[in-house]
Amino acid sequence: MTIAPARLRPLLAVLPLGVALLMATSACAGSDAAAPAQSAASVSAESAAAAAESAPAAPSEPAAAAPADPAVKEITVTIAGRKVTPPPGRIEVAEGQTVRITVTGDAADEAHLHGYDKEAELKPGVPASIEFVADQTGLFEMETHESGLQLFQLVVR
């Protein structure tokens, strides 16, 4: 089988170049350098006018991506009817960090963190807590079973 007909070779030459560029880029933005790279990216994202959809993601990042991470990341959520305070957004934690989530709702429900599969029983007005070590990277949703509300997205880098 001919690997690459002559007519397609110039084009196929671009591909390995592109992949190499990408590898170099992600190696620089790899997991060790992820936090400063992401803060730098969020600053450049706010100044880049073209990225209209990245603007909502940016405000939640400066609040969470503090350079000196505290030992335990505290997340507090209050539910009143269908209103979630703070409004659903992305909360960043570092891999290996301990996370404590406290949810207070006004109705009997169950809050569930996907991926980690942690659950908290909610009784009206009583704060419920979950504490765990964020040992898996990825994006995980926290939501309630009965009312089906998304509380926030936990981003573990």
Partner 1 sequence: MLLAHGVGGRQDLPIPFSAVLTGAALALLVSFVALGALWKQPRLDAALTAARSVPAALQTVVTAPAWRWIWRVAGLVAAAYFCIGLVFGPDRADNPTAGAFYVLFWVGLVPLSLLFGPVWRGLNPLRTLHLLACKGLGRDPELGLRPLPAGVGYWPACAGLFAFVWLELVAPERATLPVIGAWLAAYAVLMLAGAVVFGSRWFGHADPFEVYSDLVGRLAPAARRGDGVVVWRNSLDGMAGLRPAPGLTTLVVVLLGSTMYDSLSNAPVWVRFMQESAVPAPVTGTAGLLAVIAAVLAAYRAATALAGRWGAARPGTTAGQIAHSIVPIAVGYVVAHYYTLFLLEGQRTIALLSDPLDTGANWLGTAGWTIQALGTTPAGVATLQVTVIVIGHVLGTVLAHDRALALFPRRTAVLGQIPLLVLMVVYTVVGLLLLFAA
Q: Which two tokens stand for residue 68?
A: 């000196």
Figure out which of the listed residues 18, 36, 62, 124 binds partner 1, where binding follows CB under 8 A: 18
CB of 139 to partner 1, least distance (A): 4
CB of 79 to partner 1, least distance (A): 11
Q: Is residue 107 near partner 1 by the rule CB under 8 A?
A: no
Distance CA 78, CA 5 (A): 62
Figure out which of the listed residues 49, 68, 70, 117 binds partner 1, where binding follows CB under 8 A: 117
Q: Please classify residue 17 by burial: count the beta carbons closer than 10 Å to its beta carbon, then call 0-12 exposed, 13-18 middle and 19+ buried.
A: exposed
Q: Is residue 84 near partner 1 by the rule CB under 8 A?
A: yes
Q: Is residue 1 near partner 1 by the rule CB under 8 A?
A: yes
Q: Which two tokens stand for residue 144?
A: 């309630």
Figure out which of the listed residues 9, 66, 72, 83 binds partner 1, where binding follows CB under 8 A: 83
Q: Is residue 11 near partner 1 by the rule CB under 8 A?
A: yes
Distance CA 114, CA 135 (A): 14
Figure out which of the listed residues 63, 107, 139, 146 binds partner 1, where binding follows CB under 8 A: 139
Strand ranges in 20-117 using DSSP code E only, listed in sequence order: 72-80, 83-85, 90-93, 98-105, 109-113
Q: Is residue 62 near partner 1 by the rule CB under 8 A?
A: no
